[in-house]
Structure 1
Amino acid sequence: MEKLASILVLLCFSFNALAQDVPGPKKDKLWNEFTYDMGNVFNGMGYSYSRPAHWQGEQWGNFGMLTAGTLALFLVDDEVYNWTQEWEEDVPQSIKDYGHKYGNPNNNYMFTGAVYLTGLFTKNEKLRRTGVLLISSATAGGLLQQVSKRIVGRARPKSGDSSGTFDPIHLDRVFNYDSFPSGHAMLAFSNAYAIGKQFKSPWIKAGLYTVGMIPGMVRVLDGFHWISDVAFSTALSIFIVESIDKYLDKKYSEKYNDTRKEVDWSLQFGLNTVGVSVSF
């Protein structure tokens, strides 16, 4: 536990140091643009981690709703998992393969890295910025979920234990007790949400979001996560992307669809009902 605390303290100091402004790159210098972008990757992470310290009443209210929604789903995790097992075999294997592979960190960084490098070498600032957003969001979410897994120690469905079984506080990852949160859901939806910022059409956004949700749902079907793990991770990925994108607004002249309608996410509660409402 002391080692874990030391790591967290070191991370806090590291991100505090990275919070300094990154000077603008010298034009027409590929290396300068690369170092500028990588500085923004890490500064964007630090910015997203620091946002709770600046929250006001509305932000804390949203966090309270997220917590309440996660707890509501926690109460029905076992029932939802048992229900998915009734039709799990009817899901095409190709969808399952996509769900497992796309949310994998190695495959994720191959994709996000390709987006960034394409923008860098073609001197497309908007694509460069998109790559920075993708890499920074994935890294921020990935680090956060790895630390959280070790602290929470929640049993996976495939462990055979109930959703309320925990083996918390381990420096080393304990497999089958690392369900919360879902890294696959976080990485996949972060990408979908960030890429969705490129488009004004609500139909394209909805299609991207749907594809981005597949890995999380596949992980529920195959017993790697509970539905509350996936729901919380999806909401958290939105927060991370929005925070980093706000930071990048100050670093790049290219903006994303300034006239677009904002996306409104809200939790819906009713008799025997809990869900997420998305308005474009």
Structure 2
Amino acid sequence: MIDIGTIFLICLIIYILVKRRDLIKLNLRIERMQYILFIVFVIFLLFIINFLDKKVAFMISSSYPQGLLANYSALNETLTDIFKVITRLGEPNYLAFIALPTFLYFRYKKNTKLQTLILSTVVIMMFGSLISTILKAIFMRSRPYQEWNNFGFYFITDVLQKRVPYNGDYMSFPSGHTMVASCAFFYLAMMNKNIHIKIFWSIIPILVALSRVYLSYHWLSDVLASLLLGLFLAKKYRDSLDPSSLNDLS
């Protein structure tokens, strides 16, 4: 059954395809310094995968019986409920549930700049969702709850050889929720000049990332990769847009 948020998301996408195709652009050209930073980040990520992923998952996951909250079941349940709400901020249909009414309100008010801001946020959000889905299908990493002693990468070749099932249990890297939240909210932060609003938008994807680890859906390296890749995509998308179509918010 299709939920209301999905219907809202489809409506926004159709409107963008019909009326605002100028917003559908993303220049991913990488500069030399960015290649160097990418190599450094990959090395850092490999270190986390090999030495920190298990420790962090065992320590803070709500599902691991020997974690920090093992003896505090009431607090564990409360935090679980809170993070289940926060994690929805990385779901496109949930964000569309907020975005469409807001867009219609600004359309009624004839505020073209904020209309464009909302539509462009939807575009980069969908770019992030698409890219994360492609990467998930390539890397095929097992999630923490699949096997607590296994955070291996199977890659798509193993799927083709039918060594692992092609399903969500083996799509941990990167975190789709964190990627969507990073693309959307880091982009909103970039489009604002007010430092307090920038901080507010920037905190949201970090909380989403924490929720994914706490709820045992992702390893630390999954969400860190998604945060940085989402930040990179948000910046590239902002730079790809025609300056005349969308100015910074004051």
Correspondence 1:247 to 2:228: no
Q: Secondary structure at the match of 2:188?
A: helix
Relative to structure 1, the CA distance from residue 119 to residue 35 in structure 2 (aligned partners, 3 Å threshold; closer, same or farther) is: farther
Q: What is the CA distance between 1:115 and its match in structure 2? A: 3.8
| Most deviating of 113-122 and 126-135 | 113-122
Q: How does 1:59-208 map to 2 (within 5 A)?
A: 59-75=34-50, 76-85=52-61, 86-88=67-69, 90=75, 92-169=79-156, 170=159, 173-208=166-201
CA contact (8 A) 1:103 1:185 kept: yes
Work out which of the residue numbers 231, 256, 265 in structure 1 matches 2:248: 256
Residue 128 of structure 1 deviates from its aligned partner by: 1.9
CA distance in 1, matches of 2:223, 2:46: 13
8 Å contact from structure 1 (residues 199, 257) kept in 2: yes
| Deviation readout 1:7-48 (Å, 9 max, x if unpaired) | xxxxxxxxxxxxxxxxxxxxxxxx9998342x134x32xx24
The answer on whether the counterparts of 1:137 and 1:190 sit within 8 Å (CA) in structure 2 is yes
> Could you say which structure has the higher strand fraction?
1
Alpha-carbon distance, 1:163 to partner: 4.9
What is the SS of the residue equivalent to 1:74? helix
**Structure 1 position 105, deviation (Å):** 2.6
Count of aligned positions: 219
Give me the CA root mean square deviation. 2.7
The whole-number CA distance in structure 1 between the counterparts of 2:100 and 2:183 is 14
Which sections of structure 2, spanning at least 5 residues, go unmatched?
Answer: 1-13, 62-66
Q: Distance in 1 between matches of 2:151 and 2:84?
A: 28
Q: Which amino acid counterpart does residue 64 of structure 1 have in structure 2?
A: I
Counterpart Cα distance in 2 of 1:251 and 1:114: 25
What are the Cα deviations for residues 41-83 of structure 1, in whole angstroms up to 9, with x where unaligned? 4x32xx24xx2xx323112122223322322221211111111
CA contact 1:149–1:173 (8 Å) conserved in 2:
no
Q: Please state whether the residue corresponding to 1:148 is helix, strand or coil.
A: helix
Please name the residue that 1:272 is paired with. Answer: none
Amino acid paired to 2:44? G
Deviation, 1:239, is: 1.2
Deviating beyond 4 angstroms after TM superposition, the runs of 4 or more aligned structure 1 residues are 31-34, 170-173
**Structure 1 residue 159, shift from structure 2 partner:** 0.5
Amino acid at match of 2:183: S
CA–CA distance in 1 between the matches of 2:86 and 2:237? 25
> Structure 1 residues 134-143 or 164-173, which shifts more?
164-173
CA pair 163-255 structure 1, distance change in 2 beyond 3 A: farther
Counterpart for residue 32 of structure 2: 57
Question: 2:92–2:126: 8 Å Cα contact kept in structure 1?
Answer: no
SS at match of 2:168: coil
2:3 paired residue number? none
Where do 5+ consecutive residues of structure 1 fail to align? 1-30, 259-280
State the structure with bigger RCO (CA 8 A, min sep 6), 1 or 2. 2
TM value normalised by structure 2: 0.76
Secondary structure at the counterpart of residue 167 of structure 2 = coil
Structure 2: distance between partners of 1:250 and 1:142: 25
Note the C-alpha offset of 1:142.
0.6
Identity of aligned residues (%): 22
| 1:180 counterpart SS class | coil
Task: Output the CA distance in 1 between the equivalents of 2:249 and 2:114.
Answer: 13
